[in-house]
Amino acid sequence: MNPKLLLKGFKNFPIWILFACFLSPPILAFSGIDKTASFEGSSGLLPITGKVTDAESGEVLIGASVRIKETTRGALTNSEGTYQIEAEPGEILIFSYIGYETIELPVEENTLIDVSMIVAASALDEVVVVGYGSQRKRDVTGAIASVDVEELEQRAPTNVFEAIQGQMAGVQINTGSGAPGSAGFIRIRGASTFNAGTAPLFILDGQPVENIDNLNPNDIESVEVLKDGASAAIYGSRSANGVVIITTKSGIAGKTDVSVNYLRSYSTLRKMPVSNAQQRLQYDLLRGTQKNTLIDTLNQMWFINNDFQDIYYRTAVRDQINVSLTSGSEKTRFYWNTGFLNQEGVAPSQKFQRFNTRLGLDHNFSDRVRLGLKLAASYNESFNIDEARENNFFGATLIKAAYSPYINPDGSFLTSITSFRGRTNLLYEMENLEVTDRNLRGNIFQYLEFDLLKGLKYRANLGAEFNYIRNTVFEPEAVGGQNNNIGASFFSALEYNWIHESLLFYDKSFGDHTLSILAGFSAQKWGRPEERIEGLLANSLLPTLNNVAGAFDATNTFTLNEEDRSLASVFGRIRYDYRNTVLLSATLRRDGSSRFGPGNRWSNFPSLAVGWRISEWTPIKNLSLVNDVKIRASYAITGNERINNRDFDPLLSIGNFYQGLNGVGLSNQLANPAIQWEETRQTNIGLDLGLWDNRITLTTDYYIKQTEDLLANLPLPAQTGFTQARVNLGEVENRGIELALQAVLLNTQNFSWTTNFNFATNTNEVISMASGVPLISRNHITQEGLPLGSFYGYRILGIFAHDESNAFSPDGQQLTPNFDGNGNFIDYSLNGSPYSGEVNQLSVGGNTSGGGDYIYKDNDGNFSINGDDREILGNPYPKYFGGWRNEFQYKEVSFSFLFDYQFEAEVFNFFHQTMSNFTLNSWTPIPYIIENTYDGPGDESALFPDGRRSQNLLGTGAPTSYWVEEADFIKLRNVRLSYNFPMDIIERVKLENLMLFGSINNALVWTNYTGFDPEVTGGNASSLATGVDNARYPRGREFIFGLNLGF
Amino acid sequence: MKFHIYILLLLIGLGGTSCEDFLDTPPVSQLSLTGFWNSESDAQLGVAAIYDAAQDAFEQEYWFWGELRGDNYILNDRPGSDTQDAISNFLTNTSFGSDWSDLYTAIAHANIAIDKIPEIPDFTTQNDLLAQAHALRALFYFYAVRVWGDVPNVQGFVDDLSGDVNQPRASATDIFTQIILQDLEMAESLISTNRSPNTFARGGILALKAHVYAWPGAHQDYTIVKNAIEQVESLGYQLETTEEGWSNIFRGNGTGEEIIFWLAWNFSEDGANGGHAQFAGFTPDKVPAETLEAKWETAIPEDYRILQSAAFDVEIENPAEFPFLRILSKFLGVFTDRDAQVNASNSNDKDIPFFRFSGLLLLKAEAEHYLNNGSAALALVNRVREARALPLLVQGVDIDTSNPVAMRNLILDERQFELLGEGHRYWDLVRNGVAVEVMSQVTDINGIPNGLDQDSKILWPISQNVLNRNPNIEQNAAYR
C-alpha cells in the first residue's frame, strides 16, 4: 500500500478517539490509587539491609532501587551504597539500577543481602532523550543528533548556540553577532519555509519554551536535536523545522557535591583595512563634488590620520562564574546552580550581565508516585550601543574619514553636532547615549507521575514561562535627535505562556515483543502585553534626566498592544520492538492553533518509522569486526504555524493622527481568512554502524523534505493599498546527506585520541509557487526551480575605458575604439578587423553610459539596462557544511580542537557595495576601491566607476556581481588545553577535582571573503532574505582561561 | 492525597472545556474591520486616516515631485543620492520619489471611505466627510498622473485576494475623466464648508479644480480655471499686505487669510519627518540657486521676499568649509549666522503648502494669458505685486502684453518668486511646456548638463519596487 495513502487516511482519524484517551487518564489515575499503600508498613516484617556494588569494579552504586515484587514497598541505596527495607520471608527483592541487569532475590532467613550488579549489555548504548521520554540510542529509528556535557564545555560558551556549533551533522548554527548577549539561531536541514520562521521548537526539560537565549550552558546535561520528521512529529505543530531538546542537570543521590567554575577571557577584533587621510582626500577628488581639496601636504588634513579602529575598539573582558550543588537521598534529590556572567563588548561602554539560577528537585513520594520541580530564573541587563544609529557602530568606524577630528584640545570628545561635516562622533555618542535592555525571565515546571497499574503510568506536566522585557533609550541633549532634542523611549513587554500536559504511558513485554504506548493531551496559551512610550524633551531644563515624564508631548508616541494565542493538541505514539531486531514506531498528533481562522485550525500530523538491526542477522552477527548495523526509514508530516497571531483577521491600524483625531486606517497587511497550516513531508533513510566494539560508529542519513502550503508573505502590488498578505504559497524541497563519524582512534592507559567528524549536504529548491510569479525583494529572488532567496542583481563585466568604448555590434559584442596619436577617436574594430556596421550603445535607466561607467551585462540584448537584466548571482545557503572535533588525552592533560566549515555559499557584501557607489559623502571606501576607481579616459584597469557619474549606478537598488562573494570558510572555532590535577595532589588539598584550562575561540579563519566574516549575522526572520553583510557587530578572537573546582 | 485530587479535578476541568473555545482568542488591543464604519465618529476617524496617509505620501515627495526637478535649487557639495537624482534629473528606478506605494496607500484609504461612508445611517457631517474623501482621491490621482503618466485605475476597496490585483496601468486621460474630474464634481456638490485651511473645504476643492483644468490634456479648459478661481475669490480670502504679514504666513505655520489648503504637519502628532527639514540642518544638501538670485535681483531688486525666502548672502565663519551656506529661509526664518540653524528645530512643525490665494491669482493670470486677455493677466500680476508693496508693471513700458512669450515668462517668474519652496515650480514649467527648454540651460558645479533633456523624461521612472511586485506594470519609455 502506498504509504502516502495510508497517511492520508490517518489524517481523517476521528479526534474523539484521542479525546477519550486524554480524558481517561485522570479517571484511571483516580481509581488506581491505593490510598494506604505508600504509608502503612506491614507488621511482622524482617528488617533487611545490604550493600549494592558494581560487579566489575566493586564500586558502590548510589541510588539503586530495591523493591519488593508485587508490592509498592521499596527503597534506594544511600551514598554508601547500602539500603534498608522490611520484607517477609518468601517475598522477592528486585534490585534495579539504570544501565544494569535487574536482579531478583528471594528473602530468606538472612537479613543481610549484598548484591553486585552486572552492567547490562544494552547499557553499552547511550540513552537519548526523545519527545516525551527517552530511548536507547541503539533503538532509535529516526535521525537524532546529540551532544553531551563534555562536548558542550569545549568552548566555554555563554549560550547554547555556541556550545553546540559545529558538532552535529546537518545542524547549522549561527551564533549571532559579536555583541555580548546576542542570540544565535539554528537551522536544521536547510530552510523549509518562506516567512514562517526557520527556528526549531525548543523543549527544555519537557517544556516547550519560546527561546533559550538566557539559558546558562553550565546547566545543560545534554542537547538532542530531532532532525527527521518522524522523531519530531510527536510535537506535530511547530516541529517542521526540527526540535531541539535540552535536558538540564538533575540531582544525584549521595553526598553533597559542590562544583565551582570560573573563567576569564579577553576578546579582540581583527583590524580591517581602511583608507588613511591621503586616500580619503584622493576619494574626495575622485568624487568630484569637492572642488577645493588639495591633494598634497599643503592641506592640513593630510597629516591627520586617526585610526578609528584603534581609537574605538577595546579588548573586551568576560568573567563567568558558576557554583553548583547537587545532593540527595533515596527519596529526594536536587540540583542547584547559580551563575553570573559579565561580558564586555569591544565597543566602549558596552556590557552584558546575566545572573542565572536553577533548581531541580525530584522526590519519590512513594513507590508509585513521583513528583518534581524545575525552577529557573535569570536576569540580564545589557548596556548597548544603538546599532540602528549612524548605520551601525562597526560600519561607521570603518568608513569615517581618517582626518575627522574626534577630540577637543581639552581632552573632551567632540559632540555630534559640531563635529566635522555633520558627522556624529561615535565616541561622544557612546559616552552619552544610554541604550539599556533588561530581561527578567522565569520558568516554572512541575510534574507528577503515578504508576497506575503494572506498566501503566500517568504523568501530568504543568509549566509556566514568563519574560519581562524592558528596553530604554535615552539621548541626552548633547547627543540629540535630528534637532538636538533630548529624546527618551521606553519599551516594556511581558511575555508569558503556560502549558498543561496529561500523558499516559504503557509499557509491556511479552516474549520477544516489547510494546510501548503513549497517549497525551496538551494545551498551551501565550500572551504578550506590551507598551512603548517615546518622547522628545525639547528645551528641557533637565537635559540629562532620563525620564520621559518631562516630554512636552508624549501621548502621540504612546502605543500599547496586547495579543494572545493558544494551541491545543492530542497525540499518541506506539513503539514496537521484536527481539531488538525489528523496531517500529508510529505517532499521530492533532493540533489546533488560534493563529488560523475558524475552519482551518486543526490539522493531523502522522509519522511512521521502522528500523531493522541487520547485525542480529546471523551472517552479519558472525562478523567479529561489525558489532552493530541498523537500517532505518521514516516518513512524517509535520507542521509550522509561526506566523502572526491574526493574519486571518482584517485588522485596522490606529494612531493615524491628523489634526487631533486618532485616525483609523488600513493596516499594511491584507487579511487572508483562508490561511492554513504549512506542512512538511519528510522521508528519512539512515544507517547506523558500529565497528570494533563500537570504537568506530558511523551514522548516516539521507532525507527529502517537501514543504507544502508554504506560509509566505506575498508582496502585493502597491495599488492595492497593502504591502503584503500572508498566504499559503507553493512548495519547497530540501534534500541532503548527513554523516557523523565518531572514532576512538587510540585508547591506551595513558593516551587516548577521539575524533568526531560530521558532514552534511543540503540542496534546496522551490518546486512550485501558486502564482508562478517570483518573489523579488531588494536583494533576493525566490522563483520556481531555484533555491530559496537567491541573490538577484546585475552582472558587471567591467568599466568603459572611454566614452567611445560604449559600442556594441547588434549581436552584443563589444567593439574596440581606435584612437589616433592625439587621442581622437577614429573608428571601431571588432575582433581585430575594422567594423563599419551598426553601433549600439548601452544605456542605464535611459542614460547612455560613457567612460567610467559600469559595463552591465545586457541579458535581454536590447542595449538598455533595467530590472529585466538582473540575474541570479548566488545563494546564501551552503551546500556543504560540518565540523571536526578531536580530543587527545595524555594522563592528566587533555587537548582538543574544533573546526567547522561551509562550502558553496555566497554572501552579499552590501557594506562594500554601498561604499563603492561613491554616492555617499559620509562613507570612505576601503583603499582597494579608491585605488581601483576610474581616473579618466583610457583607464583600462579600473574596477570601479567614475565617482562623478554615479547616476548610472544600479547597484544602489540591487546586488552586483562584484559584491556577491564566496562565503566558503574553514574556521578553527576553538582550541582548548586543560589539565586535571592528579588525585594525590587534590586529596592533599581536600578537593574532589581541580582542573585548569586555556582555550581560544574563533582562533583562525580561512576564507576568500573580503568582508569581516563570511558567516553573516542575523537573518533568522525570513529565509528569503538572508546572507546580506551590513557590517554588523563582528565576532572577535577570544582567549579564555578557566578553573574548575570540585569539593 | 487531597493535593492529588485537586490536580485531578483540575485536569478533568481542563479536559472538559471545548477546544474551539480555547482556540477562540478575540483581539485584545486591536480593532477589526468588522465592527467599524458604523457611526459618525467612525467616519471622522476614517477620513482623518486619509489625511494621515496623505502626510506619508507627500512628506518629502511633495517637493521632490513639484519643485526639486526645476531650476530653484542646486546641489550642495555633498548631497545625498536622493536629492542628487532629483535635482540633476538623472532619475533611475531606485530614485526617491519613484515609488507610488505611499500614494496608493492613501488612495486605498480614500477608496474605503468613499465605499463605506454612504452606507452609514445619515448624520450631519456625512456629505462633508464624503466630499473630503472625493477631493483627496482627486488630489492623489492628480499627482499620480503628473508624476508617472499612466497609472493603475483603482477605485474600489481591495478586501481579498480573489480579484485581479495585478492591474496594468490605465491611460492618464482615463484617470482624468473617470476619476479626477468626477471626484471633483462629487466633492463640489457635497461640500458645505467654505473655508478650512487644513482640510478640504470648498476653497480647496475649487483650487484643486483650477489646477486640474489648467493641466494639459483633453480636459484642459482655461475658462473653467478662471471660473473656479473667481469662486475662490468670492469666499473671502485676502492677500497679506505687509512684509511681516507675508512672512508670518510661513513662519506662523498656516495662519493668515491666504491659505486655501495646506496639509497640516504637527510635530507632536506626526513626528520629526516633516518635509521642510530637508531644507534645514547645518548643511542642507540643496540650496537656492545662484541663477535664481541673479534673476530675482535683476527683476525686482527692492523685493523683501528675496531675503525672506532665501538667505543668499549669509556671513559665515569658514567659507572654505561651507562654501554653499545658502538656505531656503522662507519657512524656517532668516539665517543670520551659523548658529541660526538652531531655528531649524521648528522645521518639523510646518505644513505641506498645497494652495495659497496669491498662487491662485497668478494661476488665474496664466488662464487669462492663454485666453488671450493679456491686460487682465497683467492686472492680476499687479494685484499680487501691490499687496507685496512692489512697483507695478506698466503695460507697454515694462511689459508688452501682446507678446505671448514675454507674458508667459512674466507670470512664470512671478509664480517662481512668490511660491519658492511651495512645491509648484516644476509643475509650472511642465504645465507651460517649457520644462526641457528651461532645464537644458542648467549645469551642475562640475559642468555636467542637467539630465532633463527630452520631453519623455518629464515623467518619473517607476520604482523597481513597484515593478517587482506587479509584473503587469511597464516602465516609462525613457527609463526602460
- Scan for cell 513503539, then name that residue: A575
Q: Given 3-state DSSP classes, what are the helix, strand and coil percentages for chain B, each rounded to the nearest 5? A: 55, 5, 40
Q: Are A997 and A1042 in contact (CB under 8 A)?
A: yes
Instruction: Please indicate whether, in this complex, the C-beta atoms of B30 and A651 are within 8 angstroms of each other.
Output: yes
- Extract long-range pairs of A627-630: CB within 8 Å, 24+ residues apart: A627/A690, A627/A691, A627/A692, A627/A693, A627/A694, A628/A138, A628/A688, A628/A689, A628/A690, A628/A694, A628/A697, A629/A687, A629/A688, A629/A689, A629/A690, A630/A138, A630/A583, A630/A687, A630/A688, A630/A689
A665: left (phi over 0), alpha (psi -120 to 50) or beta: beta
Instruction: Please indicate whether, in this complex, the C-beta atoms of B94 and A956 are within 8 angstroms of each other.
Output: yes
β-bridge partners, A1043: A262, A996
Instruction: Please state, in angstroms and rounded to a whole number, the distance separating the CA atoms of residues A457 and A460.
Output: 10
pTM reported for the whole predicted model: 0.80
Nearest CA in chain A to B151: A719
Nearest CA in chain B to A920: B80
Q: Please give, one letter per residue, the 3-state secondary structure of A215-228.
A: CCHHHEEEEEEECC
* Distance (Å) from the alpha carbon of A665 to chain B's nearest alpha carbon: 5
Instruction: Please state, in angstroms and rounded to a whole number, the distance separating the CA atoms of residues B310 and A85.
Output: 100
DSSP A10-57: HHT--HHHHHHHHHHHHHHHHHH--TTTTTPPPSSPEEEEEEEEETTT
A-B CB pairs within 8 A amount to 300
A540: cell is 528641557
In angstroms, the first-to-last Cα distance of chain A is 61
DSSP A581-640: TEEEEEEEEEEEETTS-TTS-EEEEEEEEEEEEGGGSHHHHT-SSEEEEEEEEEEEEEEE
- Scan for cell 506662523, then name that residue: B252
Nearest CA in chain B to A649: B32
DSSP label of A540: -
Residue A791 has pLDDT above 90, yes or no: yes
pLDDT at A157: 84
**Listed range (A61-70, A452-461, B425-434) with the worst mean pLDDT:** A61-70
- Scan for cell 565497528, then name that residue: A691
Q: Are B220 and B213 in contact (CB under 8 A)?
A: yes
Q: Please give, one letter per residue, the 3-state secondary structure of A864-910.
A: EECHHHCEEEECCCCCEEEEEEEEEEECCEEEEEEEEEEECCEEECH
Identify which of B48, B101, B446 has the shortest CB distance to residue A663: B48
Enclosing H/E stretch for B47: helix B40-58
Q: Which of A240, A244, A1015, A138 is nearest to A703 (CA)?
A: A240
**Confidence band of A919 (pLDDT split at 50, 70, 90):** low
**Confidence band of A682 (pLDDT split at 50, 70, 90):** very high
DSSP A292-338: S---STTSGGGG----HHHHH---EEEEEEEEEEEEE-SSEEEEEEE
Instruction: Please state, in angstroms and rounded to a whole number, the distance separating the CA atoms of residues A896 and A889.
Output: 9
pLDDT at A748: 83
pLDDT at A123: 40
pLDDT at A39: 35
* Distance (Å) from the alpha carbon of B390 to chain A's nearest alpha carbon: 36
Burial code (b: 16+ CB inside 10 Å, e: under 16) for A997-1033 equals bebbbbbebebebbbbbbbbbbbbebbbbbbbbbbbb
Residue type present at position B292: L
Q: What is the pLDDT of residues A974-1015, one digit of tens each?
A: 999 999 888 888 888 888 889 999 999 999 999 999 888 888
Mean pLDDT estimate for chain A: 82
- What is the average per-residue pLDDT within A785-813? 90
From residue B361, alpha-carbon distances to A564, B230, B231 in Å are 58, 9, 12
Nearest CA in chain A to B346: A483
Q: Which of A451, A651, A664, A870 should be substituted to probe chain B, the one whose Cβ sees the most B Cβ atoms within 10 Å?
A: A664
A771: cell is 502564482
pLDDT at A160: 83
From residue A982, alpha-carbon distances to A151, A404, A890 in Å are 22, 58, 12
β-bridge partners, A670: A725
User: What is the CA A108 to chain-centroid distance, rounded?
Assistant: 59
- Scan for cell 502550503, then name that residue: A709
β-bridge partners, A147: A223
Instruction: Please state, in angstroms and rounded to a whole number, the distance separating the CA atoms of residues A684 and A141.
Output: 10
Residues of chain B found within 8 Å of residue A725, distances taken between Cβ atoms = 161
Instruction: Please state, in angstroms and rounded to a whole number, the distance separating the CA atoms of residues A138 and A580.
Output: 9
Instruction: Please state, in angstroms and rounded to a whole number, the distance separating the CA atoms of residues A942 and B218.
Output: 51
Q: Are B310 and B73 in contact (CB under 8 A)?
A: no
Helices (H), B89-125: 101-116
Bridging pattern class, strands A220-226 and A144-148: antiparallel
Q: Which of A450, A658, A1024 should be substituted to probe chain B, the one whose Cβ sees the most B Cβ atoms within 10 Å?
A: A658
Q: Which of A656, A668, A773, A915 should be substituted to probe chain B, the one whose Cβ sees the most B Cβ atoms within 10 Å?
A: A656
CB-neighbour burial class of residue A386 (10 A; exposed 0-12, middle 13-18, buried 19+): middle
Residue A8 has pLDDT above 80, yes or no: no
From residue B392, alpha-carbon distances to A553, B364, B397, B413 in Å are 48, 18, 11, 15
Other CB atoms within 10 A of residue A697 CB: 19
A364: cell is 519519590
Residues of chain B found within 8 Å of residue A803, distances taken between Cβ atoms = none
Identify which of B31, B448, B469 has the shortest CB distance to residue A652: B31
For helices B101-116 and B40-58, angle between their N-to-C axes, nearest 10 degrees: 160
Instruction: Please indicate whether, in this complex, the C-beta atoms of A556 and B271 are within 8 angstroms of each other.
Output: yes
**Listed range (A292-301, A419-428, B352-361) with the worst mean pLDDT:** A419-428
* Distance (Å) from the alpha carbon of B404 to chain A's nearest alpha carbon: 34
Q: Which of A207, A52, A33 is nearest to A117 (CA)?
A: A52
Instruction: Please state, in angstroms and rounded to a whole number, the distance separating the CA atoms of residues A728 and A194.
Output: 10
Instruction: Please indicate whether, in this complex, the C-beta atoms of A651 and B33 are within 8 angstroms of each other.
Output: yes
Q: Are A855 and A842 in contact (CB under 8 A)?
A: yes
Instruction: Please indicate whether, in this complex, the C-beta atoms of B160 and A288 are within 8 angstroms of each other.
Output: no
Q: Are A958 and A870 in contact (CB under 8 A)?
A: yes
Instruction: Please state, in angstroms and rounded to a whole number, the distance separating the CA atoms of residues A88 and A92.
Output: 9
DSSP label of A413: B
Instruction: Please state, in angstroms and rounded to a whole number, the distance separating the CA atoms of residues B226 and B369.
Output: 11
Q: Which of B466, B461, B427, B423 is nearest to B102 (CA)?
A: B466
Residue A480 has pLDDT above 70, yes or no: no
User: What is the CA A43 to chain-centroid distance, rounded?
Assistant: 59
**Confidence band of A865 (pLDDT split at 50, 70, 90):** confident
- Scan for cell 569494579, then name that residue: A57
Identify which of B32, B199, B348 has the shortest CB distance to residue A650: B32
* Distance (Å) from the alpha carbon of B365 to chain A's nearest alpha carbon: 33
What pLDDT tens digit does each residue of chain B (480 aa) get? 445 555 555 554 444 456 678 888 888 778 888 889 999 999 999 999 999 999 999 999 999 999 999 999 988 766 777 888 899 998 888 889 999 999 999 999 999 999 999 999 999 999 999 999 999 999 999 999 999 999 999 998 888 777 778 899 999 999 999 999 999 999 999 999 999 999 999 999 999 999 999 999 999 999 999 999 999 999 999 999 998 899 889 887 556 789 999 999 887 777 766 777 777 665 677 888 888 989 999 999 999 998 888 866 654 444 444 444 567 878 877 655 544 444 444 566 788 999 999 999 999 999 999 999 999 999 999 999 999 999 999 998 999 988 999 999 999 999 999 999 999 999 999 999 999 999 999 988 777 889 898 999 999 999 988 988 888 999 998 888
- What is the average per-residue pLDDT within A391-411? 76
Q: What is the pLDDT of residues A202-249, one digit of tens each?
A: 998 888 887 788 888 888 888 999 988 888 888 887 888 889 999 888
Q: Interface pTM (ipTM) of the complex?
A: 0.87
Q: Are A682 and A701 in contact (CB under 8 A)?
A: no
pLDDT at B314: 55
Helices (H), B59-178: 61-63, 81-88, 101-116, 126-148, 172-174
In angstroms, the first-to-last Cα distance of chain B is 81
β-bridge partners, A706: A681, A733
Q: What is the pLDDT of residues A329-357, one digit of tens each?
A: 878 999 999 999 999 988 888 899 999 99
Residues of chain B found within 8 Å of residue A715, distances taken between Cβ atoms = 468-469
**Confidence band of A955 (pLDDT split at 50, 70, 90):** low
pLDDT at A13: 40
Q: Are A265 and A156 in contact (CB under 8 A)?
A: yes
pLDDT at A331: 86
pLDDT at A341: 93
Identify which of B19, B47, B108 has the shortest CB distance to residue A666: B108
Instruction: Please indicate whether, in this complex, the C-beta atoms of A657 and B93 are within 8 angstroms of each other.
Output: no
